[in-house]
Structures are given as structure tokens and as C-alpha cells.
Amino acid sequence: MKKWLFMSLMAVLVLALAACGGDKKETTSAPAAEGDGGYTKDKPLVIKFSHVTSIDSVKGKAADAFAKLVAEKTDGKVKVEVYPSSQLYGDNDELDALVSGNVHMIAPSVTKMVKIDPRWQYVDMPYLFENEEHARKFFESDVAKTILESDQLANNDIKGLVFWENGFKHFSNNKHPLVNVEDFKGLKFRAQAGKVLEAQFKALHAGSATIAFGETYAALQQGTVDGQENTFNNFDTQKYQEVQKYFSVSEHGRLDYAIFVNKSFWDKIPVDLLKAVEDSLTEATTLAWDLASEENAKSYENIKNSGIEVIELTPEQKEKIKAELEPVYEEFGEVITEELINGIRGLK
């Protein structure tokens, strides 16, 4: 009798536990879908923002401003943790970190997105943009939305938000002044990953090597490469003037950033907090654009005063280099699509 009673009680207990287990919900580190999610100053929602440039760069200053704005607008309920200078992830792995959810926000040079969609190489097409105003028109255009809001990004759990301006790229090297097409022959340049940039240097009869941004200074110092291409501000804040002798103001391409977030994480941020975060990003973007102009101008003065030789190419010299680079369009016009290229050109 006691045995039967014991077995009956055990059966009831098992059924009760099973019933409770059936209602159990999986836990997740993602934010709640609506309401304030219970976030407080003591226990805020954390957004991990990783980037590769220094805190003194345009991107670094804009990222820190964004973090400050978010803290103010959410009364501390959201905390943006900014990790500059490749502290968490470098050029080669920050995109994978975003997809996996190890970070929630990145601001890469848009060339890095070629892994997802080859059209992002538009930024590397030589002399596609005429001036700063032309680039900004693109950032705010429907043409830009075709890649910023593409299915390719969504299918990889990525959401594109806004563009952060950096500026035009210029050449530097250690061998001799770069003035004419012939001056590039035989030199080796550090380049970001991408077939377009490989083709660019090939058309100039130069070599290239894909080297992470954080490793470029050492590569120049050790002679692994002779030169590189970058904006005034990146060149200055990375102190490349210490390891380069000649700087040519060529304005041959753009180096701009875009803000990408992990879509699953972002879409679950409580609505009221998300509005404050997006408003903060809008303000930080305006700041980034203003800073790009100001900081590049300051950095250009720093470069000219650093002791290295600065060569300002004439419009005629630029045109000759542009003509030499025309094969890049012949090779990549279909990959990047004529629709995108012509769309950008039409915004002049």
C-alpha cells in the first residue's frame, strides 16, 4: 500500500513538472520587443559599438558623441560602449562579429561590405565623385537606399542605417613624388580588400597588398609596402607622416563609412528607447559630416607642416590619371551595375 502510494505521488509530481516545463520560455540576451524592458540606469541596455580608427579621428569623435547623446536622451537606460582602434575586432573580422551578435554596431569603410554585396565597391571607383557636395547628395538619395536597405544585408541579419562621411583619398609613398602616371610604376601600395582597388593599382602599373588598417603603420615603417591611399584625417591621426616622404593630393576616390547594426538585436530594442537612439544617431551623423570637413582641413595643414613633401596635382594631371584608370570601369561596370554608377553620376 505504501509502495503504491509513493508511486502515485511520483507520477503526479512528474506530470506537474512536465506541465510547468511546457510553459517555459527560452531566455535571450536580446532586448524586449516593447515597453521599457525594465532597463534602468543601474541596469542599462548595452549597445556594443566597435570601430577601427583612433578616438581622435572623425569616426572616433562621432562615435563618442553618439554614445553621449544616447545616454542623455534615454536617461541612462541605454549605454553605448564604444571600442575604438580595433580594441575588439579589426578590419577583417568586425563584420563577422556583427553577424554573430558579438557586437551590435559597426562603422566600417563601406568597401568592407563587398563580402555581402559587390555593389559596395562603388566607393572605390576612381573619380566617380566630383566633390564633397556630390558625395553628400548621394548619402541622402534614393540611389543610396538601394544598397543601404538591400535584401543582401537583411539576409545576413544586418541593417544599414546611415552614412558617415570621411573624405577623398590621396596617394602617399616613400620613393618619389607621384605626379604622372609613370610615377606609380613598380611601387607597392597598401589597399583595403576589394577587387576594384587591385584593378586600380594594376591599371597604374603598381602592385598592392591587402593589409588591415591597424597594421598599416608597421607595414609602411618596415617597407612591406611603399605607400598607401587615405583621407587627410586618417593619414594624420595614424601618424603616417612619420613613415612616408611624399603625399600627392589626388582626390581619386572616396573613403566613407556607413553604420550597420545587428538586425535581430536592433529590431527588439523597445520602441521608446529606439526612438531616442535613432534621434541620437541622426545628430551624431550631422556632427560626423561637419567634423569630416573641419578635421580634414586641419589634418591637411598638419600634413603640410610635418616636413614631408606635399604635391597638389593640377586638374590636367588628375585627368591623365583618370584616363589611365578607365579600364576599371570596363571591368567592374556590370558588377557594381550601371544603374548604381549612372545613378551616382546623375546626382552631380
**Residue 348, pLDDT score:** 86
pLDDT for 1 equals 42
193 burial via Cβ count (<10 Å: 0-12, 13-18, 19+)? middle
Instruction: Give the Cα separation of 103 and 90 in Å (integer).
Output: 12
Average pLDDT for the chain? 90
Helix (H) or strand (E) holding 167: strand 158-173
Count of residues making up the chain: 348
Give residue 198's Cα distance to chain centre. 20
Q: What is the pLDDT of residue 8?
A: 44
pLDDT digits (tens, 9 = 90+) for 212-235: 888 999 999 999 999 999 999 999
C-alpha cell at 152: 543582401
- Provide the whole-model pTM: 0.83
pLDDT for 56: 87
pLDDT value at residue 116: 93
The Cα angle at residue 315 between residues 310 and 318, in degrees rounded to 5 = 75
Instruction: Name the DSSP class of 34.
Output: S
| CB contact set of 20 (below 8 Å; sequence gap of 6+) | none
Do the Cβ atoms of 246 and 189 come closer than 8 Å?
Answer: no
Contacts of 196 (CB under 8 A, 6+ apart): 121, 124, 125, 328, 332, 336
Do the Cβ atoms of 122 and 194 come closer than 8 Å?
Answer: no
pLDDT-derived band of residue 92, with 50, 70 and 90 as boundaries? confident
Query: What's the confidence (pLDDT) of residue 11?
Result: 44
Digit-coded pLDDT (tens) for 203-212? 999 999 999 8
Is the confidence at residue 48, as pLDDT, over 80? yes
pLDDT band at 345 (very low <50, low <70, confident <90, very high): very high
**Dihedral, CA atoms, 51, 188, 179, 201, nearest 10 degrees?**
-80
The answer on pLDDT for 77 being more than 70 is: yes
Predicted pLDDT of residue 13? 39
Write out pLDDT tens, residues 244-289: 999 999 999 999 999 999 999 999 999 999 999 999 999 999 999 9
Percent of the chain with pLDDT over 90: 83
Which is nearest to 252 in space by CA: 161, 181, 332, 301? 181
Provide the pLDDT for residue 76.
98
Q: What is the pLDDT of residues 109-134, one digit of tens each?
A: 998 898 899 999 999 999 999 999 99
pLDDT, one tens digit per residue, over 7-41 is 444 443 333 434 444 333 333 345 654 456 689 99
pLDDT tens for each residue of 172-206: 999 999 999 999 999 999 998 889 999 999 999 99
